[in-house]
Structure 1
């Protein structure tokens, strides 16, 4: 199982290593725009009670980036299945379905963590102040795992590129703005907030912001993320097994 997982992961790492410079440069663009526009620009006129808006913003950007990078990093599986037909190579190989799913998810998590490191370096360069901890890394990894699994499940179920892009439009885009990334969810109407606070990105944003300010982590939110990750893995594996039968 471990060897199979490593094999799938290593293939994606080799591809990433060849494009690492381009990957790093591309990952710097969006965070810099967010930090300049919201942190330095709009942030100067926003009062968040304690600390600067930049300190409030960076955990949200980390959560948002972790979601987007992990999801987009695994969507090539869809092209492998529908267009390139290279998924058959894995199907024919003696690789366990769970190992294939886990290898692809871990490769997406790696990309997400590299991108998160870039954001942290930029944030400190812009003057942000965060209390970093190992638990923050755990939260980021869980968030990346969840949305990599969302991407994998969609790649197994969706038949066209256009439909795949709609997952971004109808699921990821609303969460990007509403799940506590740029403002606290308390600002939303109560009826909407009930739904928003169930979503994993909201729990990630709240956890990162709480820990980044030096406060403790909410055990319930950690449990919610762990459950999302476990359920996502089970559904992704089942979708892959159903595809290859």
Structure 2
């Protein structure tokens, strides 16, 4: 019941603002496709594919990350600091694990929506992305992980300024360093080993393997699942802490 209540509330929010949500989800990827895709797309070959083919799976991973994170964090920050409606959830007789799961799941679904938008946009650039079960699974897990991170981040900050710092020091570096725009093979081994454990690195690499080579990495799926479970547990614990 708690999950469906949260999902319905977020669906109403999404339906009323679908135009703004859609435009904000595609703006940055379109700019990256124009600047990098057209700039290098025909001349540069990365990991055996044209740069445009290499770039789009990374952009999908980055977009699902940002969409899942922002969808949850912005909603909780607003309801927590301004509407004061989040307090009603915390003080009402509902299950914290289910409420947390509802918020995180809504963010994950928003991430899937954003990934489908990027696939449609890629058609305008002449790139066809084959959608498979594994492709959608990776997108969902990546969105779930960062939706959970957005939930935890929103509960840990006290202002939009604090959330801005979180984006500056955590989200933005991951966007650019986790293989979105370049191959991690070009990095020094020590740096590559550190960046390689981050969830976005696994999402980007797995999507490229699935799209470009038809391969599937069970290790990356297990790692993303472990990240999702760990962050979900942290979110539930933080929700109980907010009740006190």
CA–CA distance in 2 between the matches of 1:85 and 1:171?
27
Contact 2:96 2:236 in 1 (8 A): yes
Contact 2:90 2:243 in 1 (8 A): yes
Shift of 1:154: 1.0
Please give the secondary structure, in 1, of the residue aligned with 2:46: coil
Give the corresponding residue for 2:150: 151
Pairwise CA RMSD = 1.3
Contact 2:43 2:50 in 1 (8 A): no
Please give the secondary structure, in 2, of the residue aligned with 1:213: helix
Mapping of residues 4-153 of structure 1, within 5 Å: 4-75=2-73, 76-153=75-152
Query: Normalising by structure 2, what TM-score?
Result: 0.95
Contact 1:131 1:214 in 2 (8 A): no
CA–CA distance in 2 between the matches of 1:84 and 1:11?
14
CA–CA distance in 2 between the matches of 1:29 and 1:79?
23
Shift of 1:239: 0.4
Q: Does 163-172 or 125-134 show the bigger shift? A: 125-134
Please give the secondary structure, in 2, of the residue aligned with 1:45: coil
Render the CA deviation track for 1:181-207: whole Å, top value 9, x for unaligned: 101111111111111000000000000
Give the corresponding residue for 1:222: 221
CA–CA distance in 1 between the matches of 2:186 and 2:35?
21
Shift of 1:80: 1.8
CA–CA distance in 2 between the matches of 1:215 and 1:56?
14
Shift of 1:69: 0.7
Confirm whether residue 171 of structure 1 aligns to residue 159 of structure 2: no
Count of residues paired in the alignment: 243
CA–CA distance in 2 between the matches of 1:177 and 1:198?
15
Shift of 1:49: 4.8
Mapping of residues 184-203 of structure 1, within 5 Å: 184-203=183-202
Flag structure 2 segments of 5+ consecutive residues without an equivalent: none
Shift of 1:61: 0.1
